[in-house]
Amino acid sequence: MASRKDSGRDRPPPDALVPLGPGGPLSTLLAEDRERAREVRKHLRAGSTLTAYDRAWRAWAAWCQQRGVDASAAPDEDVCAYLAWLVEQRATPLECRKRDGVKRPATGGETIGISSVLTAYSAIAMAYRHAGVPGWQGARATPVLVKEQIDALRRTVGVAPKRPKEAATLSVLRKLVATFDRSTLAGKRDAAILLVHWFLCDRRSDTIGLDAADIVPIDGGARATIRKSKGDQEGRGLPKGLVTARRDRYLCPTTALGDWMSASGITDGPIWRALDCKGRVTQRRLHARHVSDVVKAAARAAGFDEARVVRLASHSCRSGFITEAVTRGVDLITIAQQSGHKSLDTLKGYAQRANVVRNNPAKGWT
C-alpha cells in the first residue's frame, strides 16, 4: 500500500500553476491583475491632492509652452525660474470666481503664498520622478539646485499663509445659524451641516463623508465615527462626540441632525445629499466644498461685508471651535482628541493667537 506521502506524487499541479504560453489564459489573468494593481495605486494620494497637482501641472505646462521649454523634462534651472516667477504672480483667479451669485473681490495685487509654490513643485516632482527624469529618480529625489531654490523661497516669501481664515467662534456661529430657514429641507440640511461640522471640529471632507451608519446615539448625545481623514489616510477611524445643547437648543447639533434625518427620510448611505430642482432629496452625496458655500452664504445673509466673507470658509469652523475651547480653558490634549491633531504644536499656535492679549506680561501694568 502506498504511503500517504507517496500517494500525492503523481497528482497533477493545480491549473493555476500550469505554465502557459504568452498568449494563454494566464497572460490574460496577469494583465487583469496588473490593471487591478494600477487602480489601487491611484489611491496613493487623495483625490483633492491629485486635482491640485493636475491644476498646477497645467499651469507649469502653459508657462513652458510660452517660453519654448519642454515641460516633460525641463532643465533644473528652468524649474527654478518657474518657481521664482510664480511667487510674483497674483493670487489664483479662483479667488475671483462667482459663487452664490456674488463675484468675489480680487486680492488687490497680493502675491500667492508659499503653499501654492510648494504645490507646483510637488506636481512637477511627482511627474518627473514617475518618468525617471535624470536627477529626480527616487521617491524623494530632488536636484540640488531646485532644493536650494525652494529653501531660498521659504526665507524670502515666508511660510505664513497670505490669507488666513477668520475663526468662527461661538458668537459668530450663532449669527450664521440664525440665517437658515429651518422650515425647508435645504434650511434643515445646511443648518445641520454647519452645526455638526463646527461641533465635530473636523475637516469639511470628514463632515461630508459621514454616512448614517457612522452616527450612533450615546450618552444623551451621539458618537460620530470619522472613517478616514487627512490625518488618518489608512482608515483606522476616529470616534468623536456630538453634544446636546442644554441652554441654546437652536445651536444643538444633535437636534439639527435629527431634524434633517427625519425630514429627509435618510436611514442609510450618505447623510448630506443634494436636492433636485424640485427640492427632493437625491442619492448624490454633496461635494466637500458645499460646507464652505454654506458658511459664506450664511455670512452674507447675516450682513457681513464681502471682505469678511472672503475670510470665512469651512476651516473657520474648525479654528473657531479650537479658539473657543482655548479661551474657555480646555487643555490642549482634550482639544486634540476632538480635533484629531496628532501634534500639539499646531494647537499651541491656536492657543497663542487666542490668548495673545491675555498672555502679554504688560497686562495690568498701567
Per-residue pLDDT tens digits for 58-82? 999 999 999 999 999 999 999 999 9
Looking at the structure, tell me whether residues 175 and 285 fall in a common domain: yes
- Residues 220, 142, single domain; the answer is no
Do 196 and 137 have their domain in common? no
The backbone region for 213, taken as left when phi is positive above 0, alpha when psi lies in -120 to 50, beta otherwise, is alpha
Q: Per the domain annotation, does 192 fall within a domain? A: yes
Pair (148, 210) in one structural domain: no
Cα 25 to Cα 11, 35, 37, 119: the distances in Å are 22, 15, 18, 44
- The sheet carrying 215-218 orders its strands as 215-218, 221-226, 238-242
SS3 201: coil
**Looking at the domain assignment, is residue 362 inside a domain?**
no
Domain count within the chain:
2
DSSP strand E in the chain: where?
Answer: 98-99, 102-103, 215-218, 221-226, 238-242, 273-275, 281-285
Please say whether the dihedral angle defined by the alpha carbons of residues 182, 186, 191 and 192, taken in this order, is positive or negative.
Answer: positive
The reply to whether 242 and 328 lie within a common domain is: yes
Using the 3D structure, point to which of 96, 125, 157 is the last residue of a domain: 157
Euclidean distance between CA atoms 79 and 124, whole angstroms: 8
pTM for this model (two decimals): 0.73
126 and 209 share a domain?
Answer: no
- Measured CA to CA in angstroms, residue 152 lies from 80, 207, 283 at distances of 11, 38, 49
- pLDDT in tens for each of the 366 residues of the chain? 444 444 445 555 444 444 545 555 567 888 888 889 988 887 777 777 888 899 999 999 999 999 999 999 999 999 999 999 998 886 544 434 444 343 444 444 456 788 889 999 999 999 999 899 999 998 889 999 999 999 999 998 887 766 678 899 999 999 999 999 999 999 999 999 999 999 999 999 999 999 999 999 988 889 999 987 777 666 677 899 998 988 888 899 999 999 999 999 999 999 999 999 988 999 999 999 999 999 999 999 999 999 899 999 999 999 999 999 998 889 999 999 898 888 888 888 878 777 777 777 776 777
Q: Is residue 288 part of a domain?
A: yes
CATH number (domain holding residue 177):
1.10.443.10
Last residue of a domain, one of 157, 186, 203: 157
Whether 177 and 67 share a structural domain: no
CA distance between the termini of the chain = 106
16 domain residue, yes or no: no
Among candidate residues 289, 270, 228, the one with its CA nearest the CA of residue 43: 228
Q: Dihedrals φ, ψ of 363, to 5°? A: -60, 125
For every residue of 117-140, DSSP letters joined together read HHHHHHHHHHHHHHHT-TT--STT
- Grid look-up 461635494 returns 287
Cite the DSSP H helix spans in 201-313.
Answer: 204-208, 253-264, 289-301, 306-310
The set of cell numbers assigned to 86 is 510664480
Q: Domain of 346?
A: 170-354
Q: What CATH code is carried by the domain that includes residue 50?
A: 1.10.150.130
| Burial of 241: CB neighbours in 10 Å, binned 0-12, 13-18, 19+ | middle
| Chain-centre distance for alpha carbon 291 | 11
Q: Are residues 65 and 190 in the same domain?
A: no
Q: Which three cell numbers stand for residue 136?
A: 529626480
Q: Are residues 348 and 209 in the same domain?
A: yes
